[in-house]
Amino acid sequence: MPSPQAPTGTTPSGLRHSRDTLRRLTVGAALLAAAGSAAPYTATLTPAAPQEIYLQVGVGAFTNNYINGGQPQVNATVNTVSATLAVGVVGNGTAQAMTTNSTAAQSYWDGYTFCTVPAQLYIGGFFRTTGATTAAAQVTATVPANLTDTTGDSIPFSQISWTSGGNGDTTANGFLPEVFPGGKFVSGGVQTVGSMASNTWNESCWTFSYANTVVTAAGTYTGAVLYTMTAP
C-alpha cells in the first residue's frame, strides 16, 4: 500500500481558496486549474504504487481521510434515491424533489462537509497512477429502460434528472462547472456522467428530481443504476 500522501501540485491561489479557504489552506491542497479559470473541484494526488482507482456514489469507506493517509475500502451498502408523490400531484408536470438515504456529507478527501443530505448524493473518488500521466478515467452510468413495480407497470428512467453542486462550489472560486455535471438518465442506455484525470481526486453532489410528466399507475417503482469507473 502506498504511504500516506498529501496532495501536491501548484501553489493554491487566493481565488481558488474562496470556496473554503480554511479547508484548502490547512491541508495544503493544490488545485489543478490556474487562478481565474473555470474548473471543477479537483485536487492532485502524489503518484504512488500501486495504481489505484476508487469510486464512491453515496456512502463510502476509508480508513481515514485521504490526506491523512487513509486507504479506500469497499462499502457494500447500496443507497436509495427516492420520491414519494402526494395525492393530487401525480403527473401534473411539477417536478418532484428526490432525497437519498445516503449519510455521506463529508468528503473522504479531507473531511470537509461537502454535500447536504438527504437532498444530495455524493459522487467522487480518485484515479492514481504510479507516476505517468495517462488518459482520464471515465465514469459511466448503466441505466435500465424503466423503473418497475411488482405488477408490471413501469416509469421510464428518463423521468429522473439531476443537478450538480457542492458546498462552497461557485463560479467565482473556479469550482464550477462540476466534474460530475447535471444530467438526465437515458432510458436503457450507458451514458458518461464524468471523468477523472490521472492523479486527481474529484467530487460533486447530485440533487435528483422526478419529472412527473406522466400519470402513472399507483405503485412503488424501483430500478438500479450501475456506475462504472474505468481507468485505462
Partner 1 sequence: MKTSIVLKSLLGTAALTLPLIASAASTFTSGGGTLTATATVNFTVVIPQFLYLRVGTGSAYATGTLATGGSTDLITFSPAVGAVGNGTAVAGVGGDLAGGIETAAILGNGGNVTLVAGVTGALSDGAGDSISFTQITTAAAANAEATLLAAPPLTDTTSSETVPATNKIVKADAKWTFSYSNTVTPAAGTYGGSAGNNGIVTYTATML
Residues at the contact surface with partner 1, assessed by CB under 8 A: 50-61, 72-94, 98, 102, 104, 121, 125, 137, 147, 153, 155, 157, 159-160, 208, 210, 215-232
Q: Which is nearer to partner 1, 10 or 92 (CB)?
A: 92
Strand-strand pairing, 146-148 and 183-184: unpaired
Q: Which is nearer to partner 1, 34 or 190 (CB)?
A: 190
Asked if 83 and 100 touch (Cβ cutoff 8 Å), the reply is no
Q: Tell me how far, at minimum, the Cβ of 168 lies from partner 1, in Å.
A: 22
Asked if 192 and 138 touch (Cβ cutoff 8 Å), the reply is yes
Q: Tell me how far, at minimum, the Cβ of 220 lies from partner 1, in Å.
A: 5
Residues contacting residue 139 through CB under 8 Å, at least 6 positions apart: 55, 123, 180, 192, 193, 194, 195, 196, 227, 228, 229, 230
End-to-end CA distance of the chain: 20
Q: Tell me how far, at minimum, the Cβ of 32 lies from partner 1, in Å.
A: 21
Q: Name the strand (E) or helix (H) holding 26.
A: helix 21-27
Residues contacting residue 47 through CB under 8 Å, at least 6 positions apart: 128, 129, 130, 131, 132, 199
Q: Tell me how far, at minimum, the Cβ of 50 lies from partner 1, in Å.
A: 4
Three-class SS state of 159: helix
Q: Which is nearer to partner 1, 18 or 146 (CB)?
A: 146
Q: Tell me how far, at minimum, the Cβ of 134 lies from partner 1, in Å.
A: 11
Residue 96 β-bridge partners = 210
Q: Which is nearer to partner 1, 28 or 223 (CB)?
A: 223
Q: Which is nearer to partner 1, 39 or 53 (CB)?
A: 53
Q: Could you tell me the three cell numbers for 75?
A: 462499502
